[in-house]
Amino acid sequence: MPQRVSVQFHSCAQFNLIGAILLSTCGLGVSGCVTRSESDVVVYSALDRDFAAPILAAFQRAGQEQPTEQSKPGADRDPTTTGGTKVIAKYDIESTKTVGLVNRIIAERENPTCDLFWNNEILHTVRLQKMGLLEKRDWNVDGAWPKGMISSDGTWCGFAARARVLMVNTKLIANEEDYPQSVDDLADPKWSGKCAIARPLFGTTATHFAVLRAKNGEAATLKQLQAIKDNAVVLSGNKQVALAVSAGTVAWGLTDTDDAVIEKDLGRDVAIVFPDQASGQPGTLQIPNTVAVLKNAPHPIAANKLADFLVRPETEDRLAMGNSSQLPLSRQSKFPPRVLPESPVRWMRVDFEKAAEDWEPWAKQLDEMFQ
């Protein structure tokens, strides 16, 4: 990367015409008399630090030098430096972490701090798209990228998905033929009090039912959710659903592959069912990670380089090999995630942009139903 001239001023009064010409010539932006290096990049990551930080460090190692500083766990800002390059990652540790990061991006819209948003809950990325806060760009992915996994205007790209699956306690349901096979089974009276779902107010469960609303209509989806609420055990999150099934508190539940595979890897008596595979059923929902460069990002050159790095097959393979066993979207991926069954999975066809329409009034209805 070409070296850029760094000019500092002791006060705004010293910003004279010569300095302005110099800064313009060097291509540096000035905000409050603070210079910004294009070798830096600020990332807001909703993906857990354990999974995202090694990949961001690998991006820096591509600069031929090892990181010289690793942040302590739990810190809000995580700088990892390589020579003159620095990735600064912010991880929100709240349970509603994606919402917190999205709200921060919205609050900073007039003067962005974030360069690149790495989200693992796509619906809120689409919300930012609809607000006009994301930059349009060309994505360096193969031509067979799944339909619906790149935005219609090029502002975001999906990669490395999780699937919405049914996790079964095999001690409580010993016969495989008795396993639930559909998300609709959450409302079946025969499973009353024996199945579980995360409260659909945020996270992938909120995305899941927003997708179903787009496919089946609002009235039908509200009716389905009410039936599920009356029949199933409602827990605080997908992790809690997986733990309840693993412990035998409930016989089965709807969760994500990353939470389910952890319990399976621990040797628990559980099985993973990819739902809605029969003819006439919609298929299993995949919810990808997304990457997006912010409009008016302070460091667009570095942000675009990192965006290309994240959607590489090698990055997807790394996430597939990790504890979360995420699902690559690229046909160039070389590592089959262990969470997938031996037989092919039929995936749900999804329009995430349609699913995000009228999110606020829809979320208000769900909040009233599940408060």
Q: What is the DSSP string of 151-170?
A: -TTSS-EEEEEEEEEEEEET
Give the pLDDT confidence score for residue 169 in this predicted structure.
98
Q: Answer for the pair 78, 5: CB distance below 8 angstroms, yes or no.
A: no
Beta partners for 80?
A: 87
At residue 34, does pLDDT exceed 60? no
Please, are residues 212 and 224 in contact by the beta-carbon 8 Å criterion? yes
Cβ atoms of 327 and 142 closer than 8 Å: no
Q: Which is more confidently placed, 135 or 35? A: 135
User: Which of the residue ranges 25-29, 75-79, 241-245, 331-335 has the most confident prediction, judged by mean pLDDT?
Assistant: 241-245
Q: Which residue has the tokens 């999205």?
A: 102
pLDDT, residue 40, reads 87
3-state SS, 290-318, equals EEEEECCCCCHHHHHHHHHHHCCHHHHHH
pLDDT over 70, % of the chain: 82
pLDDT higher than threshold 70 for residue 73:
no
The predicted-structure confidence for 161-190, as pLDDT tens digits, reads as follows: 999 999 999 999 999 999 999 999 999 999
Read off the pTM: 0.83
In the CATH hierarchy, which fold is given to the domain comprising 12-160+289-333? D-Maltodextrin-Binding Protein; domain 2 (3.40.190)
> Residue 337: left if φ>0, alpha if ψ -120 to 50, beta else—which one?
beta
User: 107 to each of 61, 114, 117, how far by Cα in Å?
Assistant: 32, 11, 14
Residue-wise pLDDT tens digits, 190-220: 999 999 999 999 889 999 999 999 999 999 9
- Provide the pLDDT for residue 86: 82
Question: Look-up: residue for tokens 């009410």?
Answer: 226
Note the pLDDT of residue 63. 57
Q: What pLDDT does 95 receive?
A: 53
In 3D, which of 39, 46, 10 has the Cα closest to residue 291?
A: 46
Phi, psi of 224, rounded to the nearest 5 degrees? -65, -45
Under the banding of pLDDT at 50, 70 and 90, the label for residue 286 is very high
d(CA 293, CA 72): 26
Contact indicator for 166, 281 with CB cutoff of 8 Å: no
Q: Which residues contact 35 (CB under 8 A, 6 or more apart)?
A: 6, 7, 8, 28
Specify the CATH number of the domain 162-286+357-370.
3.40.190.10
314 Cβ contact list (under 8 Å, min separation 6)? none
pLDDT at 6 > cutoff 80: no
Give CATH 3.40.190.10 domain extents, the chain. Answer: 12-160+289-333, 162-286+357-370
- Tell me what the mean pLDDT of segment 296-307 comes to: 94
pLDDT for position 290: 98
Cα–Cα distances (Å) from 320 to 146, 328, 349, in that order, read: 17, 7, 22
